[in-house]
Amino acid sequence: MKGFDWRQENFQRGAIVAGVLLLIALLVHGIYGSDGLVTLYRKRREYKTLSQQIQQLKQENLELQKEVQNLRSNPATIERYAREELHMARHNEIIYMLPQKKPSSGDAALNHAAFKP
C-alpha cells in the first residue's frame, strides 16, 4: 500500500482547480454578493438621490418658515392670504367666484356637441 504523496500530478491538478474555483467564487461574491460592488454602486446612487431630496426639503422648509414669519408679522401678507385662501373681503367689497369644477373629457365632448348649430 502506497502512502499519500502530495506531489502526485492528479492531486496538484485538483488543488489548482479547487483554488481557481474558490477564487472565482470569491470574485463573484465580491461583485454580486450582499456587500458587493453592485450593491455599493446602488447604495451610492440611492444616497445621492436622498441627499438631493433632503436639500429640496430643506429649501422648502426655509420658504415655509419665511411664509410663516410673514403671516405672523407682515400685514400685506396676512391680507393676501385672507383674500386668496379664505375668500375674505374688505368692508363694502363684493367677491365674485367662478366655479372651480373642470368638466371631464366625456362631459366636454357632450357639451360641445350640444352647442353645434
Per-residue pLDDT of the chain in tens (117 residues, 90 and over written 9) = 466 666 677 888 888 999 999 999 999 888 888 888 888 999 999 999 999 999 999 999 999 999 999 989 999 988 888 888 887 888 888 877 788 877 666 555 555 444 444
Q: Which domain holds residue 42?
A: 14-96
Cα(42)–Cα(45) distance, integer angstroms: 5
| Domain contains 78 | yes
| Domain contains 101 | no
Exposure string over 76-97, b if 16+ CB within 10 A, otherwise e: ebeeeeeeeeeeeeeeeeeeee
What per-residue confidence (pLDDT) applies to 108?
53
Cα(41)–Cα(43) distance, integer angstroms: 5
Chain centre to alpha carbon of residue 81: 31
Cα(54)–Cα(47) distance, integer angstroms: 10
What per-residue confidence (pLDDT) applies to 5?
63
| Domain contains 22 | yes
Q: How many domains does the chain have?
A: 1
pTM: 0.50
| Domain contains 66 | yes
What per-residue confidence (pLDDT) applies to 24?
94
| Domain contains 24 | yes
| Domain contains 5 | no
What per-residue confidence (pLDDT) applies to 1?
47
What single-letter amino acid sits at 55? Answer: Q
| Domain contains 86 | yes
DSSP character at residue 88: -
What per-residue confidence (pLDDT) applies to 89?
84
| Domain contains 105 | no
